Structure 1
Amino acid sequence: MLHEILLSLSGHPSPLLRNDHSDPAAAAILSAPERELLSTAGHLSDLHCKLLSYTAQISASHPSVICRAVSTAINSVHLGAFQRKVLEVEESILRKDAALVGACNIVPLTAVIGEFSGWTRRLEWLWNLVQFISRESKGATCRAAQLIDKLRDELQTGYADIGETALSLVKVAETAWLKQVSTWVLYGRIPMLGHNDFFIRKDEEDEQGYSIDDELLPAFVTQSTASSMLFIGTSLNRVHRRGGMDPSISGVGHFSSQLQELAQLTFPLNSVMLSRAITAIRLTLSRTTLQKLLPLGKVLEILRILREFFLLGRGEFAMALTQQADEKIRSRWRRADNLAYEKRDGLGTVMIKEGEVATVLSKTWTALGTMQGQHADEDEELELARGLLRLNLFKSNPSTPGKGTSENGQRASHAIAATPFRNLLFSVPVTLTMQIPSPLDLFLAPTDLHTYTSINSYLLSIRRAHLRLTDLWKITCLRRHHPPPPRAPYGNTKGGVAKTRLLHERWSARSSAMRSAWSTSSAAIFFLAETEAYLQVEVVEGLWDDFHGWVTGTEESARPHHQRPSISHHTHMGPSSAHSQEDDDEPAPDQSNPQAPKSSTTHDPQTLAIAHRLYLRTLVRRLLLAQQRFTDPLYDLLVHIDHLVALVHRLHGVWTAADLEADEGVVDAFSNLAADEADVRAGIRDVEAKVKHGVEDVVAVLRGLSMDSAFMADFEDGGGGGDGDDDAEDFGDEDGDGEGEGRYVPRRVGGVDRLLMKLDFGGWLDSGRSNRGRDGGGEF
């Protein structure tokens, strides 16, 4: 019987221990304590047999390499230790050890079972763990991250034997996981074995080609560490792809130091120590390979392109683009008017096509080259922008931006308002985009470019409305006597005097009719000029200088080759436009050298990418582009201004035709000029009221924002509050190594109160409320 018990404990099922001994014959042979001891031995035997069977199955067929490694460790280490214990007990009995064998060679069953008393809880725990690995949930088996998290939780059970067992299995699981990580961070390759269980996946639809699956990420790995791993592997992958083209970056060395960083890690893995190791590998990669692949000069070059053209640093670009777009729209309407009525195809004759939009941008580059004259070919930024920038019809893609991503340190960005500013340039959705050349996509993601595109549509819409309003003053005949009175000698005759009187009365009537429109346009120009000055000078310029200074390691960023536009402020009736100025007193530091200026701080590409996203998030917040309660009334105001400009141009055309009819006898039989004039003047009065109410609505929203404590707390947080904390944490010194000391903290710029103070200066809005109703809606 004793031999049968030992064989059964060794993993050979025995009917002796499987019998419940409840029949009367067995009850007569065995006492109650003996039956209990045999039940304990049977339980241990059953656990041992099931563990052998299940671990063999898991090790052979489980899809997770780490689960297979843990299962093999259970079989070879812990079940092997149990088997050795059985052999030790058997050897002690055969040696007649006094601890087990008594007088007359009697071996007490209590002593034998007592030798295995410490194994019951351990085998039961191992059986629960094997069941956890084997079971399926919603058609999916256990994943490596789930197993590692469970084993790390089991370290805190309080039982010493369970803690030791869990610790040994944690070492096995994390060693296998760290081998997968080393394949990615050292070679840029997803591991061949267990790739379905690795937390980094190849994703062609993702902006980097790879993405992080949070469900496969162990809990002890912080998000910033995971994003660093993603960046390292993605960078190495691109280096390998470019290695055949550029011998200077084809070799990836420093493996010994990087392997040493990983080899120094102890198990169970500590989040801080793992973060330090990954950071050290990332910095080593940045100082060696990526320094050649992506020098700081290239980063600054593309940042200047984004600043000058997307953020309207070059005022002449916005002006030329607006002029070319308006000319294209006018030419399409003229073409539609010249077609015979039966050939007109509804609005199809005036709809803008993709090729025409591209032609507008091409003509814009030509216009910019003409402005610069013989020095146009010396402008490297202009030539680079010509090759990279594209003007395209906007095609909505519901799966693109706006998604909250966590890969590469990228969190759900501050939501940009859905106000369609992109509709204003051509009356169809059009966006300015850019091709991101490799390797600049290491730090510039498509979602960043989407943010730039949204900011560009927003700023360009305000600049366009400002320019179109000021262009009204270029219609000379609306502001002066036209046509002029007849000259002598005919002017001194009776007919000449009558003609002069007629022209004076005509101009006086038209001047009186336009007085309200001029006052409304002048007030709108004041509003747009002050708003644009605030957005461009205080917000965009201030944040750019701050970010550029951080990138270059200088306290104050020197102005680049082309200076920012100076916005002229006008409170009187007259044109107000933005003109770029050149400052000869401050030469650009990189004019003669395309490389970046020397600085004491060199940032790796991932740090640059995180800082750049934080800069963009702060820019969106400071420009109020995230506040749809502000952008919606502003968009309505810009639409009304467009309508007002169109009606003024139409009234000018009607008056020109009326002058030809009255003075030259040119009669259009298909038009009723008197009715058209009455209709247009009524429309102008209606639109004037809408423009005035629109300005009041926008200012009211600004007042409401200034009194909103939640908004002001987020706004005055300098860009580091709210959801910006996620990106700020990626700079943080979470591992205590001091790396977070040089993180980018956006400067506090602008302020809603400052903008309100400018708009309220002189009380022009209050006077508009009191004078409403005079001259077709009143003056401001």
Structure 2
Amino acid sequence: MLHEILLSLSGHPSPLLRNDHTDSAAQSVLSPPERQLLKTAGHISHLHCELISYTAHISASHPSVICRAVSTAINSTYLAAFQRKVLEVEDNVLRKDASLVGAYNIVPLTAVIGEFTGWTRRMEWLWDLVQFISKEKEGLPCRAAQLINKLRHELQTGYADIGETALSLIKVAETAWLKQVSAWVLYGRIPVLGDKDFFIQKNVDDELGFSIEHSLLPSFVTPSTATSMLFIGTSLNRVKTRSSIDPGNTGLDHLSSQLQTLANLTSPLNSAAFSRAITSIRLTLSRTTLQKLLPLSKVLEMLILLRGFFLLGRGEFAMALTQQADEAIHSRWRRADNLAYQKQYGLGNVTVKEGEVAAVLTKTWAALGSMQGQHAEEDDELEIARDLLRLNLSKTKASTPVKGRIGIDHQSPSNLADTPFRNLLFSVPVVLTLQISAPLDLFLTVSDVQAYTFINSYLLSIRRSHLHLTDLWKITSLRRHHPPPPRPPYSITKGGIARTRALRGRWSVRSSAMRSTWSTSSAAIFFLAETEAYLQIEVVEGLWEDFHSWLTGREERDKEHGRSPSSSGGHSSSAINNMTDGDDVQNNHSETAHQKQNSKTPHHHDPQTLATAHRLYLRTLTRRLLLSQASFTDSLYDLLVHVDHLVALVHRLHGIWTSMDLEADEGVVDAFSDLSAEETDVRIRIRDVEAKVKRGVESVVGVLRNLSMDSAFMAEVEDGDAAEGRDEGDDGGLGLGSGFGDEADGEGGTRYTPRRTGGIDRLLMKLDFGGWFDAGKVVHHGDEGADDDF
């Protein structure tokens, strides 16, 4: 019987221990204590047999390498130790050890089973663990992250033997996981074995793109550390790809020395220690390989291009693009009142082809080249923009950001509103985009470009409406007597006097009809000028100067010399108006030259730090441009549509009056048109649109007032950026670990924190329309005396 028990405990099922011994024959032979001891031995034997079977199956077929390693460790360490314990007990019995063999060579069953008492709880715990590995959840097998998290949780059970067992298995699991990590962060390779279980996954639609699967991340890995590992591996993968094209481009050999950094980590892995190890590898990579692959000068060059063309830092680009787009629309729409006007949110019945849109951008480059004159060849920024910028028809109704290649946060910054500003340039969805070429995709993501595209459509729409309204004053015949009275000596004749009186009467009627139009247009120009000045100068330029100073280290040098960063406050709308003049080209060139001069002595930041700071800068920019407030953007969009309609109707009225003058003065009659009826209809429609423009301005100002009194919104604008920077992780999103403090960026510099710029209250102080909103209603019928107090 003793021999049968030992064989059963060693993994050979025995009917002796499987019998419940409840029959009368067994009860007559075995006492209750003996039956209980046999039950305990049977339980241990059953667990041992099941563990042998399950661990063999897991080690042979489980898709997770880490699960296989833990299963093999259970078999080779603990089941083997149990086997040795069985042999040790058997050896003691055969040697008649006094601890087991008593007088007359009697071996008490209690003593034998007592030798295995310490294994009962451990075998039960191992069985639960093996079942956890074997079970599938939602059709998916156990993942490495789930197993590591469970083992780390089991350290806190309070049982010393269980804690010791869990700790040894954690060492196995984390060592196997670190081998996978080392292949990625040291050589840029996704492990061949267990690639489906690794938290870095290759994007199907992008040959060189990778992304993070958060469900495969162990709990001790912070989001910022995961981002650093993704950045490191993708960078190394890019270097390898580039090296295969250019054999002289090396830089991976020195990374093998960083293997010791990972080898020095002890289990269970500490979150801060692991973050510091990854940061050390990342900074080493940045100081060596990435200095050649992605130098800071290239990043600055791209950011300056985005500032100049997407954020309208180069005013001549917005002016030329608007002019070329208007010419293209005029060539397709013969009726001026259809120009850029959509009833509510419809796109009209215009069909614009992709080639026509691309041709507009080509003509814009030609126009900019002619503006440069003899200095055209010196404008490198313009040449780079020619190669990278594209004007395309938008294929979707909304600019939904897609998952980028690098980083874990690629959603639309600040939840951009879906207001279709992109519809205004051509009356169909058209967007300015940028081709992200390697290696800039390590720094700039697809979502970043989409955010820039939305901001560009927003700012360009305001500039376009502003230009269209100011161009009305260029229609000389609407502002002056046209045609002029006859000159002497004919003017003193009877016919000349009659002619002069007729022209003056005609002008008096038309001037009275246009009086409210000029008043409404002036008010709209004032609103657009002040709004654009606030957005462009106080917000865009203020944030850009702050971010550019951080990039180049100028902010730190200013602090060292006791100077504060330059402020952009105190500007007025005249600065925006001047941007539409011809000499703004020279001003923008001097600004660009100044930026390039400052970028000659850049302060070193590693690429991931730059990418993190840039995302924070972009989120702050969209928030302070009010692009996250749909109530504001929708009201502004409606106003811009009404302004377009007003401008189109004024041009239509001018054409009708020109035809009427030809008919009255030269006898040129169009038999297929009733000019008087058309004039009456257009003047009525102008009055209606004037009222809509006025209500639109009042609505936007009202939304701004409501936002200024919204404490939650003001707190988000003023304090949300700093809090968001802190929430990038304990280390500011830089993968440094909490031990580095809140202000470090890993290179001994300071973390980027957007400074406070703008302020809705300052804009509202400028948008003081006096009693215009409270003035009498616009006269719709009978234009005489119709005027607004503005």
Q: Report TM bin, short chain.
A: over 0.9
User: C-alpha displacement at 1:584, in angstroms?
Assistant: 9.5
User: C-alpha displacement at 1:583, in angstroms?
Assistant: 8.2
User: C-alpha displacement at 1:488, in angstroms?
Assistant: 1.7
Q: C-alpha separation between the residues in 2 aligned to 1:696 and 1:255? A: 62
2:573 maps to: 569
**Counterpart contact for 1:614–1:719, Cα < 8 Å:** yes
Matches within 5 A, 1:30-429: 30-205=30-205, 209-334=209-334, 350-396=350-396, 400-401=400-401, 407-408=407-408, 410=410, 413-429=413-429
| Structure 1 residues 348 and 765: CA distance shift in structure 2, 3 A | closer
Whether 1:691 and 2:693 are equivalent positions in the alignment is yes
Q: C-alpha separation between the residues in 2 aligned to 1:469 and 1:398? A: 28
Code of the aligned partner of 1:766? G
Code of the aligned partner of 2:657? W
Q: C-alpha separation between the residues in 2 aligned to 1:425 and 1:207? A: 35
Counterpart of 1:712 (choices 711, 714, 721) is: 714
Q: C-alpha separation between the residues in 2 aligned to 1:732 and 1:709? A: 33
**Counterpart contact for 2:231–2:608, Cα < 8 Å:** yes
Q: C-alpha separation between the residues in 2 aligned to 1:30 and 1:369? A: 106
1:28-55 deviations in Å (ceiling 9; x for gaps): 1111101111110111111100100111
Task: Look up the SS of the partner of 1:431 in the other structure.
Answer: strand
**Counterpart contact for 2:93–2:101, Cα < 8 Å:** yes
Q: C-alpha separation between the residues in 2 aligned to 1:582 and 1:556? A: 27
How many residues get paired?
A: 758
2:763 maps to: 755
Q: C-alpha separation between the residues in 2 aligned to 1:570 and 1:131? A: 74
User: C-alpha displacement at 1:2, in angstroms?
Assistant: 0.9
1:663 maps to: 665
**Counterpart contact for 2:283–2:606, Cα < 8 Å:** yes
Q: C-alpha separation between the residues in 2 aligned to 1:712 and 1:349? A: 41
**Counterpart contact for 1:486–1:496, Cα < 8 Å:** yes
| Structure 1 residues 637 and 397: CA distance shift in structure 2, 3 A | closer
Counterpart of 1:643 (choices 642, 645, 654) is: 645
Q: Percent identity?
A: 71
Whether 1:737 and 2:747 are equivalent positions in the alignment is no
TM-score w.r.t. the length of structure 1 is 0.93
Code of the aligned partner of 2:703? V
User: C-alpha displacement at 1:447, in angstroms?
Assistant: 0.4
| Structure 1 residues 652 and 773: CA distance shift in structure 2, 3 A | closer
Code of the aligned partner of 2:263? A
**Counterpart contact for 1:568–1:576, Cα < 8 Å:** no
Q: Larger deviation: 408-417 or 225-234?
A: 408-417
Task: Look up the SS of the partner of 1:98 in the other structure.
Answer: coil
Q: C-alpha separation between the residues in 1 aligned to 2:13 and 2:352? A: 82
1:50-89 deviations in Å (ceiling 9; x for gaps): 1001111111111111111111111110001111111111
2:564 maps to: none
| Structure 1 residues 157 and 575: CA distance shift in structure 2, 3 A | closer
Whether 1:766 and 2:774 are equivalent positions in the alignment is no
2:449 maps to: 449
User: C-alpha displacement at 1:403, in angstroms?
Assistant: 6.7
User: C-alpha displacement at 1:23, in angstroms?
Assistant: 1.1
Q: C-alpha separation between the residues in 2 aligned to 1:364 and 1:567? A: 29
| Structure 1 residues 732 and 130: CA distance shift in structure 2, 3 A | closer
1:587-610 deviations in Å (ceiling 9; x for gaps): 946757xx94224x4111111111
Q: C-alpha separation between the residues in 2 aligned to 1:584 and 1:411? A: 34
2:679 maps to: 677
**Counterpart contact for 1:624–1:630, Cα < 8 Å:** yes
1:648-703 deviations in Å (ceiling 9; x for gaps): 00000000000000000000001100001101110110111111110000000000
User: C-alpha displacement at 1:722, in angstroms?
Assistant: 5.6
1:120-166 deviations in Å (ceiling 9; x for gaps): 00000000111111112222111111111111100100000000111
User: C-alpha displacement at 1:490, in angstroms?
Assistant: 1.6
Question: More relative contact order in 1 or in 2 (CA 8 Å, sep 6+)?
Answer: 2
User: C-alpha displacement at 1:336, in angstroms?
Assistant: 11
Matches within 5 A, 1:517-532: 517-532=517-532
User: C-alpha displacement at 1:556, in angstroms?
Assistant: 8.1
**Counterpart contact for 2:656–2:675, Cα < 8 Å:** yes
**Counterpart contact for 2:390–2:432, Cα < 8 Å:** yes
| Structure 1 residues 360 and 666: CA distance shift in structure 2, 3 A | same
User: C-alpha displacement at 1:472, in angstroms?
Assistant: 0.3
Q: C-alpha separation between the residues in 2 aligned to 1:586 and 1:468? A: 26
Whether 1:542 and 2:547 are equivalent positions in the alignment is no
Q: C-alpha separation between the residues in 2 aligned to 1:462 and 1:272? A: 48
1:340 maps to: none
| Structure 1 residues 776 and 90: CA distance shift in structure 2, 3 A | farther
**Counterpart contact for 2:65–2:193, Cα < 8 Å:** yes
Task: Look up the SS of the partner of 2:587 in the other structure.
Answer: coil
Q: C-alpha separation between the residues in 1 aligned to 2:331 and 2:557? A: 44
User: C-alpha displacement at 1:582, in angstroms?
Assistant: 2.4
1:344 maps to: none
**Counterpart contact for 1:419–1:628, Cα < 8 Å:** yes
| Structure 1 residues 591 and 435: CA distance shift in structure 2, 3 A | same
Report the aligned-residue RMSD: 2.6
**Counterpart contact for 2:312–2:459, Cα < 8 Å:** yes
| Structure 1 residues 709 and 400: CA distance shift in structure 2, 3 A | closer
2:340 maps to: none
**Counterpart contact for 1:706–1:752, Cα < 8 Å:** yes
| Structure 1 residues 225 and 142: CA distance shift in structure 2, 3 A | same
1:653 maps to: 655
Q: C-alpha separation between the residues in 1 aligned to 2:579 and 2:594? A: 32
| Structure 1 residues 590 and 715: CA distance shift in structure 2, 3 A | closer
Q: C-alpha separation between the residues in 1 aligned to 2:709 and 2:308? A: 34
Q: C-alpha separation between the residues in 1 aligned to 2:92 and 2:172? A: 33
1:24 maps to: 24
Q: C-alpha separation between the residues in 1 aligned to 2:699 and 2:45? A: 81
Q: C-alpha separation between the residues in 1 aligned to 2:589 and 2:14? A: 98
Q: C-alpha separation between the residues in 2 aligned to 1:524 and 1:11? A: 90
Q: C-alpha separation between the residues in 2 aligned to 1:726 and 1:411? A: 14
User: C-alpha displacement at 1:15, in angstroms?
Assistant: 1.0
**Counterpart contact for 2:310–2:452, Cα < 8 Å:** yes
Task: Look up the SS of the partner of 1:468 in the other structure.
Answer: helix
User: C-alpha displacement at 1:95, in angstroms?
Assistant: 1.6
User: C-alpha displacement at 1:209, in angstroms?
Assistant: 1.1
| Structure 1 residues 202 and 602: CA distance shift in structure 2, 3 A | same
Code of the aligned partner of 1:737? F
Q: C-alpha separation between the residues in 1 aligned to 2:120 and 2:394? A: 68
**Counterpart contact for 1:421–1:457, Cα < 8 Å:** yes
Structure 2, gaps ≥5 residues long: 338-346, 559-567, 780-784
| Structure 1 residues 111 and 398: CA distance shift in structure 2, 3 A | farther
| Structure 1 residues 396 and 293: CA distance shift in structure 2, 3 A | same
1:341 maps to: none
Code of the aligned partner of 1:133? I
**Counterpart contact for 2:143–2:197, Cα < 8 Å:** yes
Q: C-alpha separation between the residues in 2 aligned to 1:724 and 1:680? A: 57
User: C-alpha displacement at 1:408, in angstroms?
Assistant: 3.9
**Counterpart contact for 2:687–2:778, Cα < 8 Å:** no
Matches within 5 A, 1:551-566: 551-555=551-555
User: C-alpha displacement at 1:735, in angstroms?
Assistant: 3.0
2:343 maps to: none
Structure 1, gaps ≥5 residues long: 338-346, 559-563
Counterpart of 2:600 (choices 597, 605, 611) is: 597
Task: Look up the SS of the partner of 1:651 in the other structure.
Answer: helix
Task: Look up the SS of the partner of 2:426 in the other structure.
Answer: coil
| Structure 1 residues 723 and 597: CA distance shift in structure 2, 3 A | closer
1:602-660 deviations in Å (ceiling 9; x for gaps): 11111111110100000000000110010000000000000000000000000000000
